[in-house]
Amino acid sequence: MPAWLPRAMVLALALYACYRLGSWAFDQLIGLLINVLISFFLALAIEPAVSRMSARGMRRGLATFLVFLVVLIAGVGFVVLLGSMLAGQIVDMVEEFPKYLDSVINWVNQSFHTDLSRVEVQDSLLHSDWLQKYVQNSATGVLDISTTVLGGLFRLLTISLFSFYFAADGPRLRRALCSVLPPARQAEVLRAWEIAVDKTGGYLYSRGLMALISGIAHYVLLVILGVPYAPALAIWVGLVSQFIPTIGTYLAGALPMLIAFTVDPWYALWVLGFVVVYQQFENYALQPKLTSRTVDIHPAVAFGSVIAGTALMGAVGALIAIPAVATLQAFLGAYVKRYDVTDDPRMHGPGRRGRGESLLTRLRRSWRAPGSEESAGNAQGERSAGSPEAPETA
């Protein structure tokens, strides 16, 4: 056996053990890493407001606290308003449920010539097997729901704390990061940080604009249908559908459908159809246009980045994919060397080149009048015939 073989085997086993240990640690800490990533982008989002308040003489920690306080008050007020509205509507719906059920049964009897009654329908529902299984599963899942709620609150607290520290200690964090890099690299890191702040702000601006457009569109529909609490419902749809990825659209549309059902059961179907149609319009027409202008990336790149972010990190990836890709694109564009493009007809494609040649041909033919070639030939013959007499005349 060669002398180096045992040491090589020990080194290989040590590297494999380090790899397995690192993989296990990464799997255990993936939740914390995602929370830190979300906190970092939230800190970038509030960085302009905090920096502007700090530039006017306010301490950075106090400025960050005020920004968080304003966001917290707005969020709690909105949730309380919707909660009180929703509680009242649920009570009204429970009281009016027999009337809604009678109207549906009457419509079924008139349309399909059946003979159903509300008592028979209620008895069949109460004694059905699927209802009993659902009640049993709901009773056993109360603990799981409580655990999920507590875990969500703890995650929200973690994200808030990290976001506060990132925003309040932003200059100190940048200074600590740049202290381990040479001066040339320090300039690149600071430039990347500035680009990230700009792109994240542009992304939030585009989301806010889409939330405004969505709220106005749904407000008009709810006013036409006569659904109560139309302004609050429009704000709910705009904010939830834009700032909660993947499932935000369904959560946003469920509440207006519920309130519309209390007015008329058929209005809920109208709201559902409008939500589906508007979502398709937003996904394929509105969102790519606004994102390409505010974040300065191509609509296809924005759409692909959302799909890739969802596949990699789920809802969190869908939320931060566009500002991350926009930051990376802007940072690379500042350092990638570009050259002037040659004026070659092949650069425009065969279609435009063919149209250019035909247009040039038509222009040449338009300058030549009919019979111009014959008149030019006769004039040249006359000049050649009169050329010998020119010396004698002279």
* Residue-wise pLDDT tens digits, 242-272: 877 556 777 788 888 888 887 787 888 899 8
Q: What is the mean pLDDT of residues 71-85?
A: 78
The total of other beta-carbon atoms located within 10 Å of residue 357's CB is 11
User: What proportion of the chain, given as a percentage, has pLDDT over 90?
Assistant: 6
Distances (CA, A) of 324 to 134, 247, 305: 42, 21, 9
Average pLDDT of the residues of the chain: 76
CB–CB of 214/241 below 8 Å? yes
Instruction: Report the SS3 class of residue 229.
Output: coil
Give me the helices (H) in the chain, please. 4-55, 60-112, 118-126, 129-140, 142-168, 170-178, 183-225, 230-243, 248-263, 265-281, 287-294, 299-313, 315-333, 349-367, 372-386, 389-393
Using 50, 70 and 90 to split pLDDT, how confident is the model at 321? confident
Q: Write the DSSP assignment of 171-193 as a string of letters.
A: HHHHHHHHTTS-HHHHHHHHHHH
* Length of the chain in terms of residues written: 394
Q: What is the pLDDT of residues 326-380, one digit of tens each?
A: 777 776 766 666 677 777 676 666 555 444 445 555 555 555 555 544 444 554 4
Q: Where are the domains of the chain?
A: 30-117+147-173, 183-336
Question: How many Cα neighbours within 13 Å face the side chain of 288?
Answer: 13
Q: Are the CB atoms for 183 and 233 separated by under 8 Å?
A: no
How far are the Cα atoms of 49, 86, 209, 248, 276 from residue 251, in angstroms, in the given order?
30, 14, 20, 5, 13
74-78, 183-187, 223-227, 285-289: range with highest mean pLDDT: 223-227
- Is pLDDT above 50 for 182? yes
Are 282 and 299 spatial neighbours (Cβ–Cβ below 8 Å)? Answer: no
pTM tops 0.85, yes or no: no
Q: Give the 3-state DSSP-derived string for 332-387, with helices as H, strands as E and coil as C.
A: HHCCCCCCCCCCCHHHHHHHHHHHHHHHHHHHHHHHCCCCHHHHHHHHHHHHHHHC
Q: Identify the pLDDT of residue 66.
A: 92
CB 45 within 8 A of CB 206: no
Confidence of residue 278 (pLDDT cuts 50, 70, 90): confident
Q: What is the pLDDT of residue 201?
A: 76
Q: Is the pLDDT of residue 306 over 90?
A: no
Q: What is the pLDDT of residues 189-216, one digit of tens each?
A: 888 888 788 777 777 778 888 888 888 9
